[in-house]
Amino acid sequence: MKHINQIKLTWISFFSYAFTGALIVITGMIMGDIANYFRLSVSEMSNIFTFLNAGILISIFLNSWLIDIISIKKQLIFGFLFSIVAILGIVLSSNILLFSINIFILGLVSGITMSIGTFIITYLYSGEKRGSQLLLTDSFFSMSGMIFPIISAYLLEKKFLWYWIYVFIGIIYFFIFVLTIKSQFPILEKKTKNNDEIKQFNINIILLSISALLYILGQLSFISWVPQYATEVIKINIKKTGTLVSSFWMAYMIGMWCFSFMIKFFNLERIFIFLTGISSILMYCFIYSKSYLALKYTIITLGFFSSAIYTIIITIASLETKKPSAKLINLILFFGTIGTLLTFVITSPIVAKKGLYATLIFSNILYIIVFFLSCIIFNNKKNKYYL
């Protein structure tokens, strides 16, 4: 029974990342349709989706304390109820204000669910297996990034209104709800409240938080502007440009699966240094490549080798405590989400003033900084992990 319960909790974590991934990745697919529906420009509509990211950021921050007040099981049940309300609100939205409120609620639900999913994995598994399971969990984010754009394209092609995609996303949370009802969380809830003491506060926690922020900011700044860079600077047609982006995410997902097994045989800090270093070099090669084939193979390799970086950051941070710390895990997720929010805030002015080329160089610089931070973290590490 204990093993079956562990499997259920693990799948809750998998679906939590799939839910968040689906909400984020389908934005670009349905942005134009929503803008037309509410009679707004695409740029105005893109600003509305800041409410989604803001909801995720706020909920991850608040859940560090909320988890001590409301049990995980109750949070997931309430999350299901709020997701139903939000999705119905989106379907019935008659103006952009109502849509903004409901998309913000979905962001709140998503952030809380993802932070719970991450904590469950760090609680259930330890040592190298923890890193392996976190990689598998994170791969469900990328899997949604592959599946839901296809579903969105099919629904739009069949003349379904754009909001039906949110109904399909809601099905993911229905699976979470069913697993939650049938799972037991007693030990998990009890230990969450009392074991957040840091083993020995050190600079590594700060460096890991900064690394999470800079890595996510660098990754999203890069992949968000690759389409425009490829079409406007390299003069590649739109179909090949789409292939570049999809190839990146495909390689990213495959990389997570591979590293979930490979990571067991390597020291986490050393592989952190290797992956950040090789990813920085590959991004540099992409920026200076001029042919389509060179760009394609470089971005595929970059997606593969960079896939494990964020999860390794979370894993190293989680091992800074004797027992899993929800506050520490949420701290890393919080900084990573800040990186997401800052993506267009920082890069849009760079594109406007310096151009697309400078934006990709900026992303490369962020990766290089994360590489140097990984070296500092390795040199600062004086204590062995709690296994």
- Whether residue 205 is contained in a domain is answered as yes
Question: Rounded to whole angstroms, how far apart are CA atoms 206 and 377?
Answer: 10
Query: Of 312, 300, 297, 315, nearest to 371 (Cα)?
Result: 312
- Whether residue 192 is contained in a domain is answered as no
Higher confidence at residue 351 or residue 281?
281
Token pair for residue 299? 């971005």
- Residue 375 domain boundaries: 201-386
CATH number for the domain spanning 330: value is 1.20.1250.20
- Whether residue 245 is contained in a domain is answered as yes
Q: State pLDDT tens for residues 74-108.
A: 899 999 999 999 999 999 988 899 999 999 999 99
Do both 144 and 284 map to the same domain?
no
Question: Rounded to whole angstroms, how far apart are CA atoms 212 and 204?
Answer: 12
If one counts the domains in the chain, the total is 2
Q: Which of 6-10, 27-31, 273-277 has the lowest mean pLDDT?
A: 27-31
Higher confidence at residue 265 or residue 34?
34
Q: State pLDDT tens for residues 122-133.
A: 888 876 677 778
Domain end (from 184, 211, 241) = 184
- Whether residue 377 is contained in a domain is answered as yes
Question: Rounded to whole angstroms, how far apart are CA atoms 256 and 248?
Answer: 12
- Whether residue 271 is contained in a domain is answered as yes
Do both 226 and 290 map to the same domain?
yes
Do both 110 and 209 map to the same domain?
no
Do both 40 and 158 map to the same domain?
yes
Residue 375, pLDDT score: 93
Higher confidence at residue 152 or residue 105?
105
Do both 76 and 120 map to the same domain?
yes
Do both 244 and 361 map to the same domain?
yes
**DSSP track, 276-342:** HHHHHHHHHHHHT--SHHHHHHHHHHHHHHHTTHHHHHHHHHHTTBSS--HHHHHHHHHHHHHHHHH
**What residue type is 368 in one-letter code?**
I
Do both 161 and 272 map to the same domain?
no
Q: Mention every residue, 6+ apart, whose C-beta is less than 8 A from residue 270.
A: 378
Q: State pLDDT tens for residues 188-216.
A: 444 444 444 444 456 888 999 999 999 99
Residue 172, pLDDT score: 94
Q: State pLDDT tens for residues 325-343.
A: 667 777 888 898 888 878 8
Residue 358, pLDDT score: 93
- Whether residue 145 is contained in a domain is answered as yes
Question: Rounded to whole angstroms, how far apart are CA atoms 116 and 131?
Answer: 16
Domain end (from 184, 216, 251) = 184
* pTM given for the model: 0.76
Across the chain, what does the average pLDDT equal? 83
- Whether residue 190 is contained in a domain is answered as no
Do both 227 and 174 map to the same domain?
no
What pLDDT band is residue 28 in, cutting at 50, 70 and 90?
low
Do both 90 and 206 map to the same domain?
no
| pLDDT above 70 for 224 | yes
Do both 154 and 214 map to the same domain?
no
Question: Rounded to whole angstroms, how far apart are CA atoms 342 and 159?
Answer: 34
- Whether residue 195 is contained in a domain is answered as no
Do both 180 and 46 map to the same domain?
yes
Q: Mention every residue, 6+ apart, whose C-beta is less than 8 A from residue 69.
A: none
Do both 128 and 208 map to the same domain?
no
| pLDDT above 90 for 363 | yes
Domain end (from 184, 213, 248) = 184
The stretch 62-72 carries a mean pLDDT of: 78
